[in-house]
Chain A
Amino acid sequence: MSRSIVIARRELSSYFYSPIAYVAMALFLLVAGFLFWRDFQPGKPVAMRTIFDWMVWLLVFIVPVLCMGLLAQEWATGTIETLMTAPVGETEVVLGKFLGSLGFFVVLLIPTLVYVGMLALYGRPDYGPIFSGYLGVVLVGGLFIAIGLFCSSWTKSQVVAAVAAAAILFTLTIAPWWAGQQTALPTFWRNVVDQGVFTRYTDFSKGVLDLGNILFFLVATGVFLFVTIKVLESRRWK
């Protein structure tokens, strides 16, 4: 575990050397700021619903970019060889990369706490939905990062990794949401669509903490991390 932390720290700090991370950060804060401005008007509820709901959409595009290099770059530059010939295991590497990215994602979220402060200054916000909203965003972020990491594990090309991750995230999030808007949906498909990330996520932003939803995100994240570990091990069977 301690080696995962070492790898996570390196990964987190390496974000700050790369312009892509700053671009993603600027984009994220710009959009978040705009969304908050729409909510932060006289007469509107003292809440962050809009910003939380839109944040998930934003993550579909930002997370693939943040995760594309995690392993693809190691394959492309050959650093995977130095990494794996040090006494570390595949699980430690994958967990370290995951935690490093999740750490960066949390850093990305920290400035949005200013909005909570502003709400508290000008009104009396209900902290319940705000807390559950943040929890939901972190859980969704974790799942998305695990998917991004998985996509980065089987290619040398960061572009391929990013596109693949965006496609998977789109299929899991935006496509089911769009299908859910159709009124004439058969019951079977309605049930499938309800499993979508966005549907599950909106419970959090409403302030509903459902154990099923929490487990869904944790298990799905675990599955993608597990598969990534297997991909990394697979070089041993080739």
Chain B
Amino acid sequence: MISVSQLTKVYGQTLAVDHISFEVAQGQIVGFLGPNGAGKSTTLRMLTCYLPPTSGGASVDGLDIFHQSEQVRSILGYLPENVPLYTEMKVHEYLDFRGRLRRMDRSTRRRRMGYVMDRCWLKSVEHKTIGHLSKGYRQRVGLADALLHDPKVLILDEPTVGLDPTQIRETRKLIADLGGDHTLLLSTHILPEVEAVCGRVIVISGGKIVAQGSPDELRNSRKMSARVLVECRGPAREVEQALARVSGVGGVELLDGQSDHSMVTAALRPKEGYDIREEVARTIIQHGWPLREIRLEHATLEEFFVQGTANQAMGRA
């Protein structure tokens, strides 16, 4: 449904998006994940024909974003970052204006406005001025606008920023419901969001795609092995050396070690196929260091995110 190839955007001297390529199949919900400034919004702005690419191209439903811009825009629904709206207008006036702009006839407009206001919980504020609404409601007005013309493809730039936890949950549910009928590409830097709603994740950092796959695939990738956290009282350096000698331990990292005989927290990376917990506990006790905690920690997507983007940053430095 969305096909991106070698898409690149240069602002002056800055390379914002660096030859990225990916595909989104029909009905998929794809999360576009990355830290701030990674090039997410720029990519989405190119896909929605707001900015032209410096080189490379993309198509939406077979239509080229540069040469068939108007057709592309008519099948796209877009929620820009920060949800810009005409604050002096009332909610229903705004949606009516957007509907007219999209050349929807009166009866279609009325039907779709009723539907999207229902879907986005806007019925109660229909006659209120947008400028007087809370951030959460404005976000929903933006979402309602993006859905108004029943677009084949929905592109949402950070759809849950500024919402309270209940609204976030409801919005995610709405997004999940929309998948299937619509193809969705949403950007976020919030990981649970991706894990909650997206069938596929594209991790972007420094304008490049650093990983893609389903949330499970990313979690299970080799880089993402579990780690064991150990907290004990002992001399930091000795503890580190002793733990490194335990069979099956691939690496030791001190997270929080101070001077001698204070608390040490270490993260151990086991070699593949090893459960090192018992051996680690025995070693610590043999040395007479009081053991406070030992815990196996499964990798989260968050770690992957931090790792992937950190590696990227190091690679560039």
Chain B residue with the shortest CB-CB distance to A6: B100
- A175 at interface by CB-CB < 8 Å: no
- B52 at interface by CB-CB < 8 Å: yes
B301 to chain A, nearest CB (A): 29
Contact flag A87-B74 (CB < 8 Å), given A3-B103, A6-B101: yes
Chain A residue with the shortest CB-CB distance to B88: A17
User: Judging by beta carbons under 8 Å apart, are A85 and B50 in contact?
Assistant: yes
- A23 at interface by CB-CB < 8 Å: no
Once the chains are docked, how many angstroms separate the CA of A84 from the CA of B98?
A: 12
Contact flag A85-B80 (CB < 8 Å), given A14-B89, A79-B86, A236-B52: yes
Interface flags, B85-122, vs A, CB<8A=1, else 0: 11111000000011011110000000000000000000
Chain B residue with the shortest CB-CB distance to A76: B84
Chain A residue with the shortest CB-CB distance to B80: A81
B48 to chain A, nearest CB (A): 5
- B49 at interface by CB-CB < 8 Å: yes
A119 to chain B, nearest CB (A): 38
Once the chains are docked, how many angstroms separate the CA of A18 from the CA of B129?
A: 13
User: Judging by beta carbons under 8 Å apart, are A18 and B82 in contact?
Assistant: no
User: Judging by beta carbons under 8 Å apart, are B74 and A82 in contact?
Assistant: no
Q: Which residues of the other chain, B, contact A82 by a CB distance below 8 angstroms?
A: 78, 80, 84-85, 142, 145
User: Judging by beta carbons under 8 Å apart, are A79 and B85 in contact?
Assistant: yes
B83 to chain A, nearest CB (A): 9
Contact flag A86-B50 (CB < 8 Å), given A14-B88, A238-B11: no
| Residue of A77, A80, A81, A89 with highest tally of chain B CB at under 10 A | A81
Q: Which residues of the other chain, B, contact A89 by a CB distance below 8 angstroms?
A: 70
A75 to chain B, nearest CB (A): 10
Can you report 13 residue pairs joining A to B where beta carbons are below 8 Å apart? A6-B100, A6-B101, A10-B86, A10-B97, A17-B88, A77-B87, A79-B85, A81-B80, A82-B78, A82-B80, A82-B145, A85-B50, A238-B11
What 4 pairs between A and B have smallest CB-CB spacing? A78-B84, A17-B88, A87-B74, A87-B73
